[in-house]
Structure formats: structure tokens, C-alpha cells
Amino acid sequence: MAQQTFSGVPGDFSAGQVLTAADMDKLRDFLLYLIKDGDETDTGEVSPLILDLGNDRVGINTATPYETFDMAAAGNLGVGLELTFGTHSNSDYIGYINFHGYQGGATQYRDLGIYNGRQGRMAHFDGSTLAVTIDGALSKGSGTFDIVHPTKGGDWRLRHSFIEGPQADLIYRGTVTLSGGTATIDLDEASNMTAGTWEALCRDPWTMVASSGNAVEWVLDGSTLTITGPAGAVCNWMVIAERQDDHIRDDSPIADDDGHLIVEYERVEKVYGTPEPSA
């Protein structure tokens, strides 16, 4: 950057000081120079930095800052803060991160979204409900739930590890009492799902039924589990099945083309934060 001299730029400020229009113009020219490597008289460049000092707002790539600090794409998209990487328009973009302050008048938003081009949203963090949504696949070294301990109180906490396995399995379970020596369980109804959902979601099911002191038999036909045995027998049942939905078959990077989990793989690119291999 070539050396430039800006005459008359205020050098001393005090709390509550009101700058004149001339002072603000000089400050703007100076900031444009720092960002664009231009000079005081250069009018051929349009800086991405726009100062709306009258409203105490600063905008980058927006002439109408939506919030105190609004970093938007080529046009203001109506978010509290948006960081954009690469070329962006309403229909084509490389990727961006946005932080909602509020949107939609009185409707309040406290969230963060991470997007990746035409593939859409990667993750969403909702501060209002303390929820995190990952739209793709989440891989981890380990994981738990970590909650306030339900009985010990104080600063004690409780955690359990996630249940994991070499298949993308789902678990359904329940308890039923045989009436007249039989019971029928609809897995959709038992799971509070719309009829047909279980069969669309699951394949290769494995079923187990147990009743203390009683001999029982069972058969799973589609999403219907039928148990037979002594009248009044209390039965615990469990069905484990592998996912076969469109996401696991077509979109998940951790599964093959048939939707089966890829258990072993060789990393082909450096992942930030991983240690270098030893010599």
C-alpha cells in the first residue's frame, strides 16, 4: 500500500462527541483507503464498506445496514449478520454463514446457519430452543448426553454414551399384555408415526419377545408384530431394523450406494485439527 497523507482527519475523540459532516467524510475516505488501497481522490472504486453513521450502523456489501453491524452478500438479505464466501446471489452461491438477530417484524430469531452452495444448509443452531440441526452426516470420536444429575443435585452431572454399531440400526420396543392369548402391535402406531412410515424407513428387521415364566411365539409381517401365548402374559418386545430411507441411500457420505454404513475407510484428505502422522 502506497503511503498517503490525509489532512484534517480528527485524531482525538471523546465520549459523546458529535462529528461534523466534514469530519465523517474524511473518516470515510480514510477507511476506504485502508480497505481498497485507493486514495483520497479515487472515485473509480466502490468500497464494500458502507458507513451509516447517522444511524450508528456499519454495513459491508449493503447500503442499508439491517443491524448495528451487517455483513451481507451482494444485497441485503434481511438478516442480523451474514458472512458470505465466494460469489453469491439468490440462486447461486459458494457458501455463507448467517447470524440472525431478528427478522419478520416482531418475530424474534436467535440462530446461526451454515450453508454450502447449492447443496443447501449444512447446520442450524437455534438459540431460542437450544437446538442444533445437522442436515448432513455427523461424525465424531465419541459422544454422550450430559445433563444435570436427576438425584444428586449440586454441581453433579450425569452422562451416558451413545449406542453405536456397524449398521445404521433403529430400535423399537414396548410392553404388551396378551388378551385371549394374543396381541397385535402396529409398529407405526406404537411409534407415533404415520401409517406406512416404518416399512419405508426400515429393512432387515430382527425381533425378540420375552415373557417371564411363559412360552410365547411371535411373527413380524410388514409393520405388524403378532404375539401369541398364555392369556394375561405380560410380554416385552423389541424390533431392530436397518435404515433404508432416501437420505441414507442417496445423500449420506458415510454410507454406500445401497445405504449400508461404510465401516472402514481410508482418509484421502487432511482434516483440520488431526495430528500429522509420525515419521
Reading the chain (279 residues) residue by residue, the pLDDT tens digits are: 344 455 555 555 555 666 677 777 777 666 665 555 444 455 444 445 555 555 566 666 666 655 555 565 444 444 445 554 444 444 444 455 666 554 445 445 566 666 665 556 677 777 667 777 777 788 888 899 899 999 998 999 999 999 999 999 999 999 999 999 999 999 999 999 999 999 999 999 999 999 999 999 999 999 999 999 999 999 999 999 999 999 999 988 899 999 999 999 987 765 545 556 554
H/E stretch holding 32: helix 21-36
Residue 64 C-alpha cell reads as 442499508
**pLDDT at residue 133, as a whole number:** 78
Tell me if 38 sits within 8 A of 49, measured CB to CB: no
The SS3 of residue 106 is coil
Length of the chain: 279
What SS3 class is residue 114?
A: strand
Distance separating alpha carbons of residues 124 and 99, to the nearest angstrom: 10
Separation of alpha carbons 226 and 179, rounded Å:
12
179-208 core/surface letters (b: 16 or more CB in 10 A; e: else): eeeebebebbebbebeeeebeebbeebeee
| The three grid cell numbers given for residue 29, joined into one nine-digit string | 475516505
81-87: long-range contacts (C-beta < 8 A, 24 or more apart)? 86/117
How far is Cα 38 from Cα 34, in angstroms, rounded to an integer? 8
